[in-house]
Amino acid sequence: MERQVVHLSGAARAAGGLIMAVAISAMAVKPASATFYDWTLSGGSDSGSGFLTTGATDNGGFDIMSFGGQIDGATITGLLGGQPGVGYAYSPSGAFYYDNILYPSSNSAEGALLDLGGILFTIAGGEGNIWGTSASPDGYSYWTYESGRYVIEDSATAFSVVDPPYPVPEPAPAAMVGLGLLVLWLARSRRVA
């Protein structure tokens, strides 16, 4: 069996090295993207859990981009209203005002994870709203509005968010490593041929 020694040209080595350097630097710097949280709600007669994602910074907190899960067995079907911009906006029914901002460091004006606007979402054919009222552990309120009336009212509810313990895959660094390996393989196979 004959053994071949492959010598890469200077250009191929430089290209492969450049791509590997870019791939390594891309892995070292986390891109600005959504942050994922698990949330829980408890207190009074209510309990729930789910996930939310945040995006851009807004008013000292972060815009909530998605919100899902269950409360008292009812499925949350999505975030409602998006980001209203400066200040609060009213829900489609007019029952709630909201801003859909999370303050992970509890630095809202109320000292809570959510301010008085809170999170607006759809649940059980109506609107749901969780908002912060104080910095105390049970300083949150959860109400729903359906068919022209408030259905659930709990004004001493605990709400918490935690970063999930599992990493969120980021495809860009893996793609850069794959591209670097492809270039090296192409340079090698071209040399062998």
Residues in the chain: 193
Q: What is the pLDDT of residue 142?
A: 94
| Spatial separation of the C-alpha atoms in residues 48 and 45, rounded to whole Å | 10
Q: What is the pLDDT of residue 107?
A: 78
Q: What is the pLDDT of residue 16?
A: 53
Using alpha carbons, list the distances in angstroms from residue 114 to 21, 75, 123, 126: 41, 21, 19, 21
Q: What is the pLDDT of residue 25?
A: 45
Low-confidence ranges of the chain (pLDDT < 70): 1-33, 164-176, 192-193
Which residues, 6 or more positions from 19, have their beta carbon under 8 angstroms from its beta carbon? 176, 179, 180, 183
Report the candidate in 48, 85, 72 with the shortest Cα–Cα distance to residue 161. 48
Summarize pLDDT for 28-58 with one digit per residue, the tens. Answer: 444 456 789 999 999 888 999 999 999 988 8
| Spatial separation of the C-alpha atoms in residues 92 and 81, rounded to whole Å | 8
| Spatial separation of the C-alpha atoms in residues 176 and 183, rounded to whole Å | 11
Question: What does the CA dihedral 78, 171, 30, 41 come to, rounded to 10 degrees?
Answer: 30
Summarize pLDDT for 165-179 with one digit per residue, the tens. Answer: 655 555 666 666 777
Domain boundaries of the chain, sorted by first residue: 10-31+170-192, 35-162
Helix 171-192 crosses helix 10-28 at what angle (to 10 degrees)?
A: 170
